[in-house]
């Protein structure tokens, strides 16, 4: 045998060895859930694991997780693989409760990564923070959104409503429901964040809103880099979203100017988030001059901007789904109008609005069918046990909100719009963690009460003056989720025709 043949044999044996090692390693790697006796979705790709369709943006994450959920009926949880990382999708509402409340110490961290070393307003968002940083940031928002503060929402809406009416009266064509929603939330969120007048119905271009649009499009879009970041934090530094850092100076400057205005005018009673944060610091012994320092401005800006973006996007989505559903179901709209008309239009209070049973049922059914956030991701920080299975620190847990809301065993005929599902009797007969549009437990959305209150006030005023109809001269399309990154985004615009009532 010559030397060439010997080399060829050696190379062949080496390649065979490498292939064998790689094969057995992959078998071991993707055998994680099998070794734990957990039902699981098998890895279909050596690279992508179980999420090839998700990685290629063929479906939204909410729909992807719903498909896994529906494929394993009766199971308390399902394992799957995000690239080479084993993750666990929870199906049982009782285990959802354990993750979100009872075992919160092991799952206090949301499985969303943001480089906290990066000096951006998003890196200071309570949703992405963890540990002491999260507690501090959330506490600031909670103190700024008390019941006593939220009672001013009807007054704030009443100031915006005339410009909204003018906009609707002058619009003869169809209106896109989400655009109408952002017209409301952009102005209201700016007012409640910084105390600035920034009406979404003004013809003057709003720079705050333009930035909000860009950030929202980035984080809910199907951009390749964002899909990587959503599934694996390792890619964050490689594909860092530049707009977040680029616009940080703008929000810091806006916060500084707004704070100076509050100080100069002696306005201590504004219900805006910035003033609430200011009053908290003043009570703690700080002086107004100290608050104008750059490091404090950056801290204040992070909390205020976090609220603004949460209020701007998810509230607008929920409002658009509600208005579109009312156009789709005229009998529901008629009954709801009869209920809200009983209240004095010029003296609306949140206490009275929150007592309206049908309004509560309709809004709850809308959020069941179209939850703005279709899933939640939690990261295990301490080894613990769930349903008899040991969950190691570092594991990711997925709470599939959309799938739970559309489970036919929990909600018969789940595709049907039935507000009566949320009567007191029906709610009491259902596991409370089978309905979690805002999450639950200590990390429940801090802006939940603001969003619900704002939407209820706007809807009650709107229904007393206008009829919400399907679009004229266009097909009335069902609401279907697009292949978007995180939030429930319709696959086509939701068009409406809104006309004055014949009183």
The pLDDT tens digits of the residues spanning 293-329 come to: 998 998 888 888 888 888 888 999 999 999 999 999 9
For residue 237, pLDDT beyond 60: no
For residue 172, pLDDT beyond 90: no
Select the more confidently predicted residue: 352 or 228. Answer: 352
> Using CA atoms, how far apart are residues 280 and 45, in angstroms rounded to an integer?
53
Kindly state the average pLDDT of the residues 22-47: 82
User: What was the pLDDT predicted at 14?
Assistant: 64
Sheet holding 85-90, edge to edge: 77-82, 85-90, 396-399, 376-379, 109-110
> Do 496 and 180 meet the contact criterion of CB atoms below 8 Å apart?
yes
Binding-site residues from annotation: 445
> Using CA atoms, how far apart are residues 215 and 80, in angstroms rounded to an integer?
30
- Token readout for 12 is 């062949």
Each residue of 94-120: pLDDT tens digit? 999 999 999 999 998 887 665 555 555
Which domains are delineated in the chain? 18-500 (1.10.630.10)
- Token readout for 503 is 């009183």
> Using CA atoms, how far apart are residues 269 and 247, in angstroms rounded to an integer?
29
Binding-site residues from annotation for heme: 445
Q: Phi and psi dihedrals of 196, rounded to 5?
A: -105, 150
User: What was the pLDDT predicted at 139?
Assistant: 82
End-to-end CA distance of the chain: 102
Lowest mean pLDDT segment, chosen from 11-20, 71-80, 428-437:
11-20
Kindly state the average pLDDT of the residues 176-193: 91
Q: How many CB atoms lie within 10 A of CB 72?
A: 16
Q: What is the pTM of this model?
A: 0.90
* Residue spans of alpha helices (H) in 145-222: 147-150, 153-170, 177-194, 207-220
Q: How many CB atoms lie within 10 A of CB 193?
A: 28
- Token readout for 239 is 């594909």
Q: At what angle do helices 357-369 and 330-340 cross, to 10 degrees?
A: 140
For residue 243, pLDDT beyond 50: no
For residue 37, pLDDT beyond 50: yes
> Do 108 and 442 meet the contact criterion of CB atoms below 8 Å apart?
yes
> Do 79 and 36 meet the contact criterion of CB atoms below 8 Å apart?
yes
């Amino acid at each position: 045998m010559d030397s060439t043949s010997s080399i060829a044999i050696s190379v062949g044996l080496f390649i065979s060895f490498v292939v064998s090692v790689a094969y057995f390693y992959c078998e071991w790697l993707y055998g994680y859930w099998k070794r734990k006796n957990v039902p699981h979705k098998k890895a279909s790709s050596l690279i992508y694991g179980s999420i090839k369709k998700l990685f290629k943006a063929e479906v939204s994450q909410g729909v992807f997780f719903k498909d896994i959920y529906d494929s394993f009926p009766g199971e308390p949880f399902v394992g799957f693989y995000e690239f080479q990382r084993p993750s666990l999708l929870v199906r049982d509402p009782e285990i959802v409760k354990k993750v979100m409340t009872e075992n919160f110490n092991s799952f206090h961290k949301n499985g969303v990564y943001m480089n906290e070393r990066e000096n951006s307003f998003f890196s200071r968002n309570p949703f992405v923070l963890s540990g002491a940083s999260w507690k501090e940031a959330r506490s600031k928002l909670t103190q700024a959104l008390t019941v006593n503060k939220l009672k001013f929402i009807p007054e704030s809406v009443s100031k915006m409503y005339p410009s909204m009416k003018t906009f609707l009266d002058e619009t003869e064509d169809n209106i896109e429901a989400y655009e109408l929603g952002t017209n409301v939330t952009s102005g209201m969120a700016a007012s409640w964040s910084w105390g600035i007048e920034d009406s979404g119905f003004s013809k003057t271009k709003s720079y705050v809103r333009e930035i909000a649009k860009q950030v929202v499009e980035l984080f809910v879009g199907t951009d390749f880099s964002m899909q990587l970041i959503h599934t694996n934090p390792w890619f964050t530094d490689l594909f860092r979203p530049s707009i977040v850092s680029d616009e940080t100076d703008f929000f810091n400057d806006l916060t500084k100017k707004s704070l100076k205005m509050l100080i100069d005018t002696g306005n201590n009673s504004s219900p805006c988030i910035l003033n609430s944060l200011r009053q908290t610091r003043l009570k703690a012994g700080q002086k107004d001059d100290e608050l104008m320092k750059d490091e404090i401005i950056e801290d204040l800006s992070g909390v205020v901007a976090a609220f603004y973006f949460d209020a701007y996007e998810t509230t607008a989505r929920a409002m658009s789904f509600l208005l579109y559903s009312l156009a789709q179901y005229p009998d529901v709209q008629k009954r709801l109008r009869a209920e809200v008309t009983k209240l004095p239009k010029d003296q609306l209070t949140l206490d009275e609005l929150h007592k309206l049973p049908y309004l509560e049922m309709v809004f709850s059914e809308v959020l069941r069918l179209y939850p703005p956030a279709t899933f939640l991701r939690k990261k295990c920080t301490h080894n613990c046990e769930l349903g008899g299975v040991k969950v190691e620190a570092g594991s990711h847990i997925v709470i599939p909100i959309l799938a739970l809301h559309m489970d036919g065993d929990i909600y018969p005929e789940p595709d049907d719009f039935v507000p009566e599902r949320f009567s007191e009797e029906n709610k009491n007969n259902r596991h409370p963690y089978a309905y979690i549009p805002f999450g639950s437990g200590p990390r429940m959305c801090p802006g939940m009460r603001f969003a619900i209150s704002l939407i209820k006030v706007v809807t009650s005023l709107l229904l007393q003056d206008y009829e919400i109809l399907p679009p004229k001269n266009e097909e009335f399309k069902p609401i279907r989720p697009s292949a978007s990154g995180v939030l429930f985004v319709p696959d086509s615009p939701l068009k409406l025709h809104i006309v004055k009532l014949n009183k």
